[in-house]
Amino acid sequence: MKKVVFFLSMALCSGAVAQTVLDRIVAIVDREIITESDLNYAVQMMAVQNKMDPEAPGLKDRILDGLINEKLILAQAIEDSVVVTDDEVADRLDRQIKLLVQQYGSEQRLEEMYNMPISRMRRDFREEIRKQLLIQKIRQTREVGLTVSRREVESFFETNKDSLPTVPQEFEMSHIFMKPKPDSATDRSVYLLAHQVMDSIKAGGDFADFAKRYSADEGSAVHGGDLGSVRRGSFVKEFEEVVFSMKEKELSKPVKTQFGYHVIQLLERRGESVHPRHILFAVKQTSISDDTTIAELKRLRERVLHGEEFGVLARKYSEDPESKDIGGDLGRIPADQIEPSFMEVIKSMKAGDISEPTKVPVGTSYGYHIVYLRSVTKEHPMNLTDDFRRLEQFALQFKSNAKYQVWVDELRKTIYWEKKL
């Protein structure tokens, strides 16, 4: 996933650079080119991610070789008629844009960083995502059934033990997460405002003007609420059910979702794609909402302390869609990836403890959770006894990389490529 985000980011940056700079071609691979801005951005990303000097001797050449290898695999994927569907591209693009929105904090901030609306990102970078999925598919096909034996893991460890990273301190945790719900009076006042604006638009008011004045969706508000052309599966359930049932130019009644109330207008529909605009009226949380949520989590904590299973309660009550169905399991989290304020909470806990309700940021909003600390792993040198599964993954990746390199060397002999540097 991180690799796809990297390439999407690279595509976004390259697109912005191409508007003002005539790129020099630094390599040709079959029918694909690699430009100087592609290479420079890849070098900068590698330097930032690995805390390296971007001017380090040989770094640019190594990065260029890596980009050439990717293009060689793409050429082979096309030659082998590997297929990526439009739905797969749309799904990956949507997920990666959502991830970038989370990283930047809001759609507006993402659009500011890349100087273009998200609707244009979806159009302009669809082909780049398609290419990356082709590369991923053909690699996965070649690695099906690839495994390592215990002897291979032990051999890998003996050969590389002096250069293996230290296992960081890790916390194995589960949680029950809840988001404060607005009180009924606040909810009602927001609904009435949404309804009034809807009536004003029906009476001849300008939808785009109302969106700029009222919409809490900052990313689309500046564009008059325009969400661009989007495929089915991109919206939350309540919004999607309404927008895909609408006729062109139709205006909806206020639609409630987890974000608030939406007034939606369908501008255009083509098959399984819709082009809507909306005005979001956010229902703000109050101190009463927070107190109610904290009290409910306290009750659940007491139930666990009196013998009920944490995982069972998490499946029933947690509002975290990613962990709810697996009993709230968050897996093993390295200490340096835990939000500092929460680290203050768990550093005094021991295995088996359950935290008091704690506030946790969620994008531009927040919620509360209680955390069950299942185990704590101290920082230590990697070893076969405690870290066999981790070593197995390292050994498998090493074997995969070796096989990949042999394959790429073969492709370099059969597919045209040329450096222009």
> In Å, how far are 120, 133, 212, 279, 407 from 101, measured between CA atoms?
15, 21, 20, 19, 36
Distance CA 120, CA 270 (A): 17
Which among 230, 206, 229, 212 has a CA at the least distance from the CA of 280?
A: 212
pLDDT tens-digit series, residues 256-281: 988 889 999 999 988 778 999 999 99
2-144 and 170-181+286-377: identical CATH topology: no
- The DSSP string of 331-371 is EEEEGGGS-HHHHHHHTT--TT-BPPPEEEEETTEEEEEEE
CATH code, 184-281: 3.10.50.40
CATH code, 170-181+286-377: 3.10.50.40
pLDDT tens-digit series, residues 166-207: 999 999 999 999 988 877 888 899 999 999 999 999 999 999
Give pLDDT tens digits along the chain (421 positions).
Answer: 334 344 444 444 444 444 444 579 999 999 999 999 889 988 888 887 777 888 989 999 999 999 999 999 999 999 999 999 888 888 888 888 877 877 777 777 778 877 888 878 888 888 889 988 999 999 889 888 899 999 999 999 999 999 999 999 999 999 999 988 877 888 899 999 999 999 999 999 999 999 999 999 888 898 999 988 887 777 888 998 999 999 999 999 999 988 889 999 999 988 778 999 999 998 887 778 899 999 999 999 999 999 999 999 999 999 998 899 999 999 999 998 888 878 888 888 999 999 999 998 876 678 999 999 999 999 999 999 999 999 999 999 999 999 999 999 999 999 999 998 7
CATH code, 2-144: 1.10.4030.10
> In Å, how far are 107, 241, 268 from 246, measured between CA atoms?
25, 9, 10
Spell out the domain ranges in the chain.
2-144, 170-181+286-377, 184-281
